[in-house]
Amino acid sequence: MESFEITFFCNKNKGDISDIGDFSDSYKKYVKLNNYFEFEKFDDEKDYYEIRCSIFGLVLSENLFAEFIEYLGNYVEYIFDRFSSVEIVTGIYELTYYYTENLKGLSDFSPEFLKKFPVVFLRYAEYDNFTDVLYSNKKIVFLYHENSQLLFPY
pLDDT in tens, 61-119: 888 888 898 999 999 999 999 999 999 999 999 999 999 999 999 999 998 999 999 99
Residue 73 belongs to a domain: yes
Distance CA 98, CA 109 (A): 14
End-to-end CA distance of the chain: 18
Stated as kind and residue range, the H or E segment containing 112 is helix 111-114
Residue 135 belongs to a domain: yes
pTM: 0.91
Residue 102 belongs to a domain: yes
Residue 153 belongs to a domain: no
Residue 100 belongs to a domain: yes
Residue 154 belongs to a domain: no
DSSP string, 93-152: ES-HHHHHTT--SGGG--HHHHTTSSEEEEEGGG-TT---EEEE-SSEEEEE-TTTS---
Please give the residue that has the higher pLDDT: either 150 or 33.
Answer: 33
* Structural domain for 72, as ranges: 3-144
Domain count, the chain: 1
